[in-house]
A and B are shown apart, each in its own frame.
Chain A
Amino acid sequence: MKVLRTPEAAFAGLSDYPFAAHYLDVATQNTPALRLHYVDEGDREAGPILLLHGEPTWSYLYRKFIPSLVAAGHRALAPDLIGFGKSDKPANCDDYSYEHHVGWMSDWLTQLDLNNITLFCQDWGGLIGLRLVAAFPERFARLVISNTYLPFGESIGPGFDAWRTFSQATPEFKTGRIVDGGCNRALTSAEIAAYDAPFPDESFKAGARQFPLLVPTTSDHPSVAENRAAWVVLERFEKPVLTCFGNQDKVLGHLDAEIQQRIPGAKGQQHCRIDASHFCQEDQPEQLLDLILNFIAAQK
């Protein structure tokens, strides 16, 4: 496997991402050891809040969350998925699969031995994060879910189909512009540059290019069985689950009802729709922080 590593200099200009870099080597199945980057701020003894990003972002997406979560007394962890951010990037599209991603993050989670986790997930952060919950339900205390789902072989709507078509057809995969387009507000040029930073050129983008093809929206997708099995666990998950989807996410914003109905821990919670597009972390950071912190506080 040919593996690329984004040079540290690519991240030198980020004035709004002051977090210390942490690294762990992860492996799954037959993959070689890959260096995974993660943010880990706050008291190591405090309850961890796991912030999982998705396509085509990185932990930069949570830069506005981490300081406030730490100030509220929590430990904030935000990993970069393999192929993204400051983590290693296998160079070929074939190097990536849904099960590889779940395996890499499972290895990271178990090496750090995180427990009593509050999960916040969005986009692929949910496709992977909810699989982690299903694999290690005892490690998770509560879930806050936004703009994501766990598909198991069925269509998730025309918005996603259009996105997948675009992702494969576009000659250049402009990650910063894509994130900007998925926000209600206009990102600054510095923020767009920060989303471009992990990818010095197209050769670094195999993981980002491949992600839309890895979503199990047809019955012949190789991860359908795994996701069906995960739903069996989630349908017995009784710890608190809150959904806060963006009311203007045209790709995934309509899928909250499925989660609310199928996960027993979602019963009776104050689910809400927020005034946000797909990248809700960019549109409504303060409101999401308020929801997360109040959700945790309500159970103490």
Chain B
Amino acid sequence: MKVLRTPDSAFADIHDFPFTPNYVEIADPSDGTALRVHYVDEGPRDAPVVLMMHGEPSWSYLYRHMIGPVVAAGFRVVAPDLIGFGKSDKPTKKTDYSYARHVGWMRQWIEAIDLNNMTLVCQDWGSLIGLRLVADMPDRFASVVLSNGGLPEGGPAPRAFAIWRAFSQWSPFFPIGKIVNAGAKRALSAAEIAAYDAPFPDSSYKAGARIFPTFVPFENNVAIPDQKRAWQVFEQWNKPFLCCFSDGDPVTRGGENRFIGRVPGTAGQPHCTLKGGHFIQENDPQGFVDCILKVLSR
């Protein structure tokens, strides 16, 4: 497996992400290739862990406005970059990636640093991967806070998603920062757009970002049996599970209805709708933080 590593200099001009980088090396299960996972790890090591998982096509920078307030409330915040994203290593071929591999890579990383008593905070692919981790390792997780994501198990792709998927597959250009900007319902600054572009010095780094949309298990996708097994775990999940989706995300809007009632742990939680687009972390980070702290304080 050929792997690229974004040079540190690519991140040198980012001034609103002051967190010390942490790295763990994992071995790809298929051929043993070493892959370096980057993660933010802030707050007391013995405090309850808040695991913030980003999705397509962002990185832990997405959580820059949320890490500080959650640490200030007394928690340890851990925010990894998925393989292919941020400061983590980037296999160069689209076929190096699959949904199952992403779950396996992140599982190895969690086991390597032995995280327990975690609250999963997730959005987009952070939820598709994060919720699978919860189902695989339920004893390591104490609660879930879910925004703008889900755990699809077949069925037709929503129209807006199918258009996005075709764009990601065939477009001659794939401007990461502009894509985040378009999904953020506010105008990001030029520096913020540059920060989302930073992990990808050129298109050879974007294989993971390009292929992600085709992995979402709609229609007859290969991952559907794995999803149904994960759902069996969530249908018995009694720990707190809070939904806080956005009112303005055309892709996931209303997705909480697939969880509330079906996951027993959703009962009695203060579910809410946040105002914003797909990247709610850019629109209402404080609202998202408030949801996390509500779950942790109960």
Contacts and interface: CB of A to CB of B under 8 A. Distances in A.
Interface of A: 15-16, 18-20, 41, 63-68, 70-72, 285-287, 289-290, 293
Nearest to A41: B163
Given A18-B162, A66-B163, A67-B164, 20 more contacts: A15-B218, A15-B219, A16-B166, A18-B157, A18-B159, A18-B160, A18-B166, A20-B159, A41-B163, A63-B166, A66-B166, A67-B166, A68-B170, A70-B167, A71-B167, A286-B170, A286-B171, A289-B171, A289-B172, A290-B172
Interface in B139-161: 156-157, 159-160
A49 to B, nearest CB: 14
A287 B156 CA distance: 29
B157 A287 contact: no
B172 A67 contact: no
Contacts of A293: 172-173
Contact of B156 (A15, A63, A66): A15
Q: Which secondary structure characterizes the binding site on chain B?
A: helix
B169 interface: yes
Interface in B172-189: 172-173
A67 B218 contact: no
A130 B62 CA distance: 49
Interface in B9-40: none
Contacts of A16: 162, 166
B157 A67 contact: no
Nearest to B171: A68
Contacts, number: 51
B201 to A, nearest CB: 20
Contacts of B219: 15
Contacts of A65: 170
B163 A67 contact: yes
A144 to B, nearest CB: 14
A20 B163 CA distance: 11
Contacts of A67: 163-164, 166-167, 170-171
Interface of B: 156-157, 159-160, 162-164, 166-167, 169-173, 218-219
A-B CB proximity, top 9 nearest: A18-B162, A290-B172, A67-B167, A68-B171, A64-B170, A67-B166, A18-B159, A67-B163, A285-B170
Contacts of A41: 163
Contacts of B172: 68, 286-287, 289-290, 293
A19 B166 CA distance: 11
Nearest to B172: A290
Nearest to A293: B172
5 contacts: A18-B157, A19-B163, A67-B163, A285-B170, A289-B172
A18 B165 CA distance: 10
A20 B159 CA distance: 9
B217 to A, nearest CB: 12
Nearest to B160: A18
B20 to A, nearest CB: 36
A70 B163 CA distance: 10
A18 B163 contact: yes
Contact of B167 (A15, A19, A68, A290): A68
A290 B171 CA distance: 8
Contact of B170 (A15, A18, A289): A289
Contacts of B157: 15, 18
A70 to B, nearest CB: 8
A214 to B, nearest CB: 32
Contacts of A72: 173
A160 to B, nearest CB: 29
Nearest to B175: A71
A15 B214 CA distance: 12
Nearest to B179: A71
A16 B157 CA distance: 9
B213 to A, nearest CB: 11
Given A15-B156, A15-B218, A15-B219, A71 B162 contact: no
B169 to A, nearest CB: 7
Which of B159, B160, B163, B166 has most chain A Cβ within 10 Å? B166
Nearest to A68: B171
Contacts of B170: 64-65, 67-68, 285-286, 289
A66 to B, nearest CB: 7
A72 B174 CA distance: 10
Contacts of B171: 67-68, 71, 286, 289
B195 to A, nearest CB: 21
Contacts of A66: 163, 166
A71 B163 CA distance: 10
Contacts of B218: 15
A262 B163 CA distance: 38
B182 to A, nearest CB: 8
Which of B160, B163, B164, B172 has most chain A Cβ within 10 Å? B172
A16 B170 CA distance: 12
Nearest to B169: A64
B48 to A, nearest CB: 41
Nearest to B178: A71
B170 to A, nearest CB: 4
B187 to A, nearest CB: 16
B235 to A, nearest CB: 27
A66 B166 CA distance: 9
A257 B164 CA distance: 37
Contacts of B162: 15-16, 18
